[in-house]
Chains A and B, each alone.
Chain A
Amino acid sequence: MNTFAELIIVFIILIDLALAVTGSLSSCIKLVALQGVVAGILPLLAMHGSPHFRAVAFAAVIIALKGAVFPWLMMRARDRSGARKDVEPLISYPASILLCLGAFIASSWLGSRLPLPETGVAWIVPASLATIFTGFLLITTRTKAITQVLGYLVIENGIYIFGLALFVEQPMMVELAILLDVFVAVFVMGIAIFHISREFDHIDTAELSELSDWRRGEDGR
């Protein structure tokens, strides 16, 4: 069973790489959703013995949220904002993928250095760290507001996988509260994107630069 879990981990890393090279916004959204679903399946596989009801129900909630609700919200935000269909990166795709690969190498080094408890599933810690890094990559090198939200979701996926790796058992209430927060965050950000597109006629965050202490020009008079 662990080999299967390892395959899933590899799959997650491949999705990271794919996110780094994908140029189309909608496939980016789908990839993030796919990653969320795959990450949601993971705990059921890594578990020993028969899964109990609570874990299955929780996994189902996560899969439904990440696999259906979030992509739906994102797609809606994309359609309403009338954004161009590509992600418009600030750096070239090869640079993105090399950065992602470098991040994975760094994460595996870090994963071997961290005095973490034994995980049973190989590569789960580096994979989660690399996923978090990919999220940061999406946030910092893509200009669209939507891709920044996607980056946030990828970071969240990474942290979720990291939590699985560490076996940190949080009470159900806390897990649900965290999930609710993430849901509301995506929801609120979706609304904000809608407002941004209406106010500015674009959702390019590189253009959101009216407020700054560094720009002296027009505001200083």
Chain B
Amino acid sequence: MEIVKPLVQLLAALLLAPLLPGVINRVKAFFAGRRGQPLLQLYYDLAKLLRKTPVYSRTTTWVFKAGPAIGLAALAAALLVMPFAGRPSALSFDGDFVYLIYLLGLARFCAVLAALDTGSAFEGMGASREMQFAVFSEPGFFLGLAALAAVTGQRSLGGMFGVLTGDSWRVAAPVLALLTASFFIALLAENSRVPADDPNTHLELTMIHEAMILDHSGPDLAYILYGAALKLWLFGSLIASMVLPSHSGAWARDAAMFLLVMLGVAAAVGVTESVMARLRLTKVPYMLITAFAFSALALIFQMGR
């Protein structure tokens, strides 16, 4: 039974991930006074896209076709090490948070390569912006995970969230609060949410992430959309595990609580998007540097404790 549980968790993550963008959209619609899309819109989109035949430009090579598939594979593999409700994850080893970051990097790298492969000016621009922000966001994220490792004294993600309990919050509340804030900013930036990017934009000049995937169609686009949902789930579960460090011991109850908090995180993202305007492109690095500063502060606090 204990062997099955991690697999069930993984399966749940893979299945439930597309729900999160739906929740975010509903929250935004609520704030805007609209009814909004159905909650399951992304599932419908994916089903539709998977049935379609992709269209490839003659200038593209195999890189363009491989990009989305590799990206999705990398994100799915990253999900393996992500704990679920403080339970051991399917895969866990010392230093697996570095593995997580590298897989995220690989996914991004493939998306950027595929975008560049089209030779389109807009996609190149989107790719360049994506990389520029990644330069600022990755150090902060990495530093944050390192600080978390220092707080918990564990070197695997499963271990870190396994020992993170209410007591840790009582002892190290400032550090954990800073880290949560830093991760939340990383979530917004990495998933092209509002202060950094606008997922709903229709003007190529202002796009970042969306500009990169303009030429993808059919199953390739489905892979990218699904991959984006997985990434959102990944970051969301990171934050959910931070703020919900209680373990009742009962698997089902923990899992239910965890899913509730995930919904809460998605709602928080929706609220953030509704109340904030998108930052000017030149200001986005400031936000990411702020996240870096939070992580760095948390690490300093932890080191001097």
Judge A-B direct contact (beta carbons within 8 Å).
yes
Interface residues of A (CB under 8 A from B): 3, 6-7, 9-10, 13-14, 17, 21, 93-94, 97-98, 100-101, 104-105, 108, 111-112, 122-123, 126
Which one of B56-64, B145-153, B169-177 is at the interface?
A: B169-177
Tier of interface size on chain B: 10 to 19
Main secondary structure of the interface of A (DSSP, over half): helix
Q: Is the CB of B305 within 8 A of A13?
A: no
20 contacts between A and B (CB under 8 A): A6-B174, A7-B174, A9-B174, A10-B177, A10-B178, A10-B301, A13-B297, A17-B293, A17-B297, A21-B290, A94-B286, A94-B289, A100-B293, A104-B297, A108-B304, A112-B304, A122-B304, A122-B305, A123-B304, A126-B304
Chain A, Cβ-Cβ closest to B298: A10
Chain B residue numbers with a CB within 8 Å of A112 are 304
Kindly provide the distance from the CB of A46 to the nearest chain B CB, expressed in whole angstroms. Answer: 15
Q: Does B15 contact A (CB under 8 A)?
A: no
Task: Using A6-B174, A7-B174, A97-B293 as known contacts, say yes or no to A123 and B286 having CB atoms under 8 A apart.
Answer: no
Whether the pair B293, A93 counts as a contact (CB closer than 8 A) is: no
Q: A94's closest neighbor in chain B, by CB?
A: B289
If the complex has contacts A7-B174, A7-B177, are A98 and B300 also in contact, measured as CB distance less than 8 A? no
Where chain B touches its partner, the secondary structure class is helix
Q: A19 to chain B: closest CB distance in Å?
A: 12
**Shortest distance between the CB of B279 and any CB in chain A (Å):** 12
Known A10-B301, A13-B297, A122-B305; judge A21-B286 contact (CB<8 A): yes
Q: Mark B151-178, 1 if CB is under 8 A from A, else 0.
A: 0000000000000000000110110011
CA distance A17 to B297 in the complex (A): 10
CA distance A10 to B296 in the complex (A): 13
